Amino acid sequence: MSKYLNWVCNMRKLFPSLALFLSAVFSSPVIAIPKDPFAGRTTKKSLTKEGGNRTTEKAVDMALDYLVRSQNEDGSWSASQDSDTDQGGRVSNKKYKPSKGFKPGITGLAVLAFTSSGHTHLKGKPEYVEALKKAVDYLKSVQKHSPDRTRDGLIGGIEVFEENDSFNDHWMYNHAIASLALTELLILSKDEDNLKESVQAAIEFCLHAQNGSTFKKKSPSKHSTYGWRYQYQEGTNDSSVTSWMAQTIHTAQHASLDIPSSEFKKSLKGISNWFEKATAKKKSAQGSRKRRGTPVPSLAGRIGYQIPGDEGARWAKQMQGSIYPFSKKETQSMTAAGTFCKLLNKKSSRSVRDSIDWLMKSIPEWREYKNARTLSKVNFYYWYYGTNAMFQAGGTNWKKWNKAMKKVLLANQRKSGDEKGSWDIKGEWSPIGGRVYTTALSAMCLQVYYRYPRFGTKGF
């Protein structure tokens, strides 16, 4: 008994606050969030500590140089197609004409690759500064100004799509990504004269467009607040659009906007509502059935696109006969996206741990399609969200993921020619976004070491 009392006394000396004592015993280590969560982008102090090095930085510089060379005269970037779009010799997309309507979103992705290294339209390498100035002008030129709140502040609505474009109802992607890009530029440059009005309007549109939104409404919504889909308050939600919006809302909290913090909290609460709803809690996804004599595998922690635990969307144009050439089981893009968003929101729960287990079952691997038994695992979208999620999770899982991610991206970056610094148009959704899409997402994977600090707990 005396030994126990001595131990308690010693602990009280070490931990004068009982709260601190209990926290030290029972809690995960808490990360101190810096006042300026974007400062690391310019200092890059965490580069080597978190697993990056000179080689990853050289790859980032090559990617940014490629993006400068591929920019359009009007300041935009396009979902350009090229001759290297054949998926493993079996599934050819050479006849696919990329959508011109995604220019605002693709431009946003390109801008984010620059801002992730701390570059702005005011400061950085001269060629990067010039490219970003042109990009800002382009994005502002396609932003709507209207007394109609369902359009005011919208960046790139249906008007940017051609009439017969099958994606002409997907314009919320454009707005979410472009808004995130302009918001990051505002925060990093502090150029309120040039950017604040546009960003303010863009973020207000995001808040208005959220399903169940109460933004600037006197009476509460009859519906629960959730996420977003392709159009204004569409009523249905999807985890892909909502993930881009989640990053945008999370970032906008740090901008100098005239929006009460309570509005951001309500929006983030809605995002949390959606991702909890989209996370499988039981053994199987909604609508699945148990085969006779075959146990149903646990899907707990798998995050669905629109239904808890579903496999995610498929793109019909990628079909080769009856074969879909991309492994949905091994590239859980929505699980990666939802996990990242939960961790940005400082959510630590059993479901997050289950989601991380899903991601660790399929670390990055450059495996292209061969046959029905060997499906492609190349998926830049999955790698982007998975890399950000695993960085936020930290610990040994992050080290294992990071090692695989670096191996895949560094080995497959173009090292010479006109496309030097880029990544080929391989993978499930790459033909829609083109070489700018694959390159921007890959660059942001390799900038993860300093792009964000960790916002919650670590050591999953």
Torsions phi, psi for 454 (to 5 deg): -80, 130
| AA letter at 88 | G
**What are the pLDDT tens digits along the chain (460 aa)?**
444 445 444 544 444 443 333 333 333 333 344 568 899 999 999 999 999 999 999 999 999 999 999 999 999 999 875 534 443 333 334 445 667 789 999 999 999 999 999 999 999 999 999 999 999 999 999 999 999 988 999 998 877 776 666 676 788 999 999 999 999 999 999 999 999 999 999 999 999 999 998 887 655 555 567 999 999 999 999 999 999 999 999 999 999 999 999 999 999 999 999 999 999 986 544 444 444 444 546 799 999 999 999 999 887 776 666 788 899 989 999 999 999 999 998 766 788 999 999 999 999 999 999 988 999 999 999 999 999 999 999 999 999 999 999 999 999 999 999 999 999 999 999 988 999 999 999 999 999 999 999 886 555 5
Which of 240, 78, 96 has the alpha carbon at shortest distance from 173?
240
Instruction: Give kind and range of the element (H or E) at residue 401.
Output: helix 395-412
Asked if residues 173 and 231 have their Cβ atoms less than 8 Å apart, the reply is: no
Burial environment of residue 333 by CB neighbours within 10 A (0 to 12, 13 to 18, 19 or more): buried
Question: Which residues, 6+ apart, have CB-to-CB distance to 405 below 8 Å?
Answer: 363, 364, 383, 386, 387, 445
Q: Which token pair is 90?
A: 């079996």
What φ, ψ does residue 346 adopt, rounded to 5°? 65, 35
Rounded Cα distance between 184 and 182, Å, is 5
Joined together, the tokens standing for residue 150 give 């369902």
Question: For residue 215, which of 251, 139, 268 has the smallest C-alpha distance?
Answer: 268
Which tokens hold the place of 214? 């109460």
Asked whether 196 and 183 are in contact (CB, 8 A), the reply is: no
- Residue 323 pairs with which residues in a beta bridge? 320
pTM as predicted: 0.87
Task: DSSP for 167-236, please give it.
Answer: TTT-HHHHHHHHHHHHHHHHHHH--HHHHHHHHHHHHHHHHHHSTT--TT-SSPPSS------SSTT-S-
How far, rounded to the nearest angstrom, does the alpha carbon of residue 4 sit from its chain's CA centroid? 50
Q: Which fold has domain 48-215+223-284+298-451?
A: Glycosyltransferase (1.50.10)
CB 325 within 8 A of CB 375: yes
